[in-house]
Amino acid sequence: MRYRDSLPKSCDDIFRHTPANCGDDTIEAMLHATEKTLAKHSAFIESIRTIDGMNERRPGVFYRKSKAFLHFHEDPTGLYADLRTDVNEGFVRTRVESGEEQSKFLRMIVSRLAPQTQR
């Protein structure tokens, strides 16, 4: 049995393993992005590293203060980013494979951090 086949399939089970916004449907769990996959998107990852206050504890895993804030997943359809929506909530998963998706996601990060930097 492959690792992916052993992962839970329901939203409730996935929230225990990889919190993500499921909506009404179940989603297939995704593996965390490998360093090889992240290297293919090095310019995008480097852009994230330049954002003030981002702390990359492991390749592609970013923290804000002491909380996980952003990390990446991969599957055959591309690269996905999980971004924490609120300190006490889970993550929202967004596809970030294309340049347009990456630009939009960078703006999402900056807008998400804006209220925190004004405190």
Residues 6+ apart with CB under 8 A from 79: 33, 37, 40, 41, 72, 73, 95, 96, 97
Per-residue model confidence (pLDDT) at position 57: 94
Question: Is 78 a domain residue?
Answer: yes
User: The pTM is what?
Assistant: 0.71
Structural domain of residue 72, as residue ranges?
30-117
Count of domains in the chain? 1
Per-residue model confidence (pLDDT) at position 34: 94
pLDDT tens across 7-16, in order? 444 443 333 3
pLDDT tens across 32-88, in order? 999 999 999 999 999 999 998 899 999 999 998 888 999 999 999 999 999 998 767
Question: Is 13 a domain residue?
Answer: no
The pLDDT mean for the chain works out to 79
